[in-house]
Amino acid sequence: MKSKIVLTIGLVSAMSLGGVVPSVSAHDELGKDFIEKGTRVGFNNVIPSISGSKNFKWQEISSQQIKLKNGVQNNTADVYVHKGFAYTGTHTQNGGNGGVRVWDIKNPNKPKEISVFGDDIEGTWQEKVIVKSVNTKHFKGSLAVVSVQQIDRNDPKSVGGFLLYDVTDPYQPKKLGFWSLDKRVRGTHELYLTVQNGNPYVLAANPYADYYTHGEQKDFQIVDVSNPAKPTTIYQFDPRSLPDVQEDFDGYNWNAPDGKTRPAFNHSTMTDKKGQTAFLSFWDLGTIILDIKNPKKPKVLGRTTFSPNQQGSAHSVALAKGEDVLVETREVYNPTKEGYEQAYGYTRIFDIKNKKNPTLLSEFKTELVANIEDGVTFGNTVHDPKVQGNTLYLSHYAGGVRAVDISRPAHPFEIGKYIPENADVWGVFVDKDYVFASDMGTGLKVLKKNN
């Protein structure tokens, strides 16, 4: 069933945007301005709609809510597409353990939810899933890695980390292994599966691992999963290796050169296509770029930086223009934090031909970024980026999905907007002529491009 597109202005309430508020969040949970992801205070002048420029057209062809599981309705997290199947993670609504939902999308007009996996660890939620084709002496087929986070770190039955599944037959996923973190750490928040010279590695972002374990485990780790039944940690990154991070860094509080104490933790990670370079979204430390040609001995190349009046909040990245351009999204949810500009999170675009010195080319802001009267909320900030050709796609919570022309990265401009009713869009993925979006409250959306 397609979601309703309304062309009238109105207020979107907390109940209409996700129902039951999740009990935990995956952003800066140690920050003074912490709020729960899913909390809504009402969005002024958000118009549910779909539009495109003269040369960019798209239409919603399907909207499907995820199925009830054990009689309850979970909410939807990120989305990933691989070989004709979509995979949607789940967040914490109604107790979590919603697992990863697999969709047969051979007919994109009628996606069919066909299986669930990754829900076998009690008291957790499964937000992020990446699927890649892998061929090692231990495993050949489609390998899925799933982030696992504890809802309550005091729950003796829960543990965080990531799961590995064989989804060669998506109708019958098979568990292969589990990589676990210290019980004190909530878990792996975002992750990435890369294949380097035939060897698969998981890059795990484990926020606050350094802080909670007093340095015993780190926020960023590289794990060899060539044998998915026995994942092996081969590297951990210590931010203290950066030239402007002091030895007294406690795993969270960073005394920045601008004189401010800023939050620094690994939120997300990914690599280039060949798995040679890693990009760590390290909140106010910016996007850290590592040479991982030798994954056991990565080298720091450079990182993005912020002006003194910008909240960092480096959330996630995408690459463009032959991987010479870096798109960085910033999940700023408090637009009135003292000492900083009054704005929600927006996108920054960098030239990274010289990875030792990323050069800021432009900043892209939607109309929601300056709408600070809504207060502290996720609704107006940008979330995740994806790139196809010269088009950047941004998931934007209440702002839906935005399509941005980046043919000239120094001059980005919006060419398309998709805002379903009660929009709360978490993730976006582009596959050929289709755009897949995951909405926290209403499930999987499918848009077809007609360029």
The model's confidence at residue 6, banded by pLDDT at 50, 70 and 90, is very low
Residue 257, class by beta-carbon neighbours within 10 Å (0-12 exposed, 13-18 middle, 19+ buried)?
exposed
Residue 211's H or E segment, with its range, is helix 209-212
Q: Which of the 8 DSSP states describes residue 212?
A: H
Give the distance, in angstroms, between the CA of residue 375 and the centroid of all CA atoms in the same chain.
Answer: 23
**Per the domain annotation, does 398 fall within a domain?**
yes
- 84: pLDDT strictly greater than 50: yes
232-237 and 220-224 as β-strands: parallel, antiparallel, unpaired? antiparallel
Closest listed residue to residue 418, CA positions, set 61, 16, 1:
61
**Per the domain annotation, does 440 fall within a domain?**
yes
Q: What are phi and psi of 251, to 5 degrees?
A: 95, -5
Calculate mean pLDDT across residues 411-435. Answer: 97
**Per the domain annotation, does 3 fall within a domain?**
no
Lowest mean pLDDT among 37-41, 143-147, 302-306, 373-377: 37-41
Calculate mean pLDDT across residues 309-318. Answer: 97
The model's confidence at residue 378, banded by pLDDT at 50, 70 and 90, is confident
Number of domains in the chain: 1
Cα distances from 19 to residues 13, 64, 113, 238, 375, in angstroms, run 10, 17, 22, 39, 20
pLDDT at position 31, please?
A: 80
**Per the domain annotation, does 5 fall within a domain?**
no
pLDDT at position 29, please?
A: 84
Longest dimension (CA), the chain: 58
**Per the domain annotation, does 2 fall within a domain?**
no
**Per the domain annotation, does 141 fall within a domain?**
yes
pLDDT at position 26, please?
A: 46
Share of the chain above pLDDT 70, in %: 91
Cα distances from 411 to residues 325, 362, 385, 430, in angstroms, run 13, 7, 17, 22
The model's confidence at residue 18, banded by pLDDT at 50, 70 and 90, is very low
CB atoms within 10 A of CB 179: 23
* Spatial distance between the Cα atoms of 385 and 383, rounded to a whole number of angstroms: 7
**Per the domain annotation, does 4 fall within a domain?**
no
For residue 346, give both structure tokens: 């927006």
The model's confidence at residue 23, banded by pLDDT at 50, 70 and 90, is very low
For residue 165, give both structure tokens: 């599944």
Cα distances from 86 to residues 21, 78, 141, 236, 442, in angstroms, run 25, 10, 16, 31, 16
pLDDT at position 36, please?
A: 65
What is the full DSSP assignment across 345-372? Answer: --EEEEE-SSTTS-EEEEEE--TTTT-G
Calculate mean pLDDT across residues 121-135. Answer: 98
**Which residues touch 355 (CB under 8 Å, ≥6 apart)?**
277, 289, 291, 301, 302
Q: Which residues of 312-335 are buried (b: 16+ CB within 10 A; e: fewer)?
A: bbbbbbbbbbeeebbbbbbbbbbb
Q: What is the mean pLDDT of the chain?
A: 92
Closest listed residue to residue 126, CA positions, set 63, 168, 173:
173
Q: What is the CATH number of the domain that holds 75?
A: 2.130.10.10
The answer to whether the beta carbons of residues 187 and 206 sit under 8 Å apart is: yes
* Spatial distance between the Cα atoms of 299 and 353, rounded to a whole number of angstroms: 17
- 97: pLDDT strictly greater than 70: yes
pLDDT tens digit sequence for 177-230: 999 999 999 999 999 999 999 999 999 999 999 999 999 999 999 999 999 999
The model's confidence at residue 248, banded by pLDDT at 50, 70 and 90, is confident
422 or 236, higher pLDDT: 236
pLDDT at position 45, please?
A: 60
pLDDT at position 342, please?
A: 96
Task: Provide the residue range defining the domain that includes 401.
Answer: 10-449
- 262: pLDDT strictly greater than 50: yes
**Per the domain annotation, does 247 fall within a domain?**
yes
Calculate mean pLDDT across residues 392-409. Answer: 97
pLDDT at position 11, please?
A: 25
Q: Which of the 8 DSSP states describes residue 176?
A: E
Residue 209's H or E segment, with its range, is helix 209-212
Q: Does pTM top 0.75 for this prediction?
A: yes
pLDDT at position 4, please?
A: 44
- 27: pLDDT strictly greater than 90: no
For residue 159, give both structure tokens: 């543990």
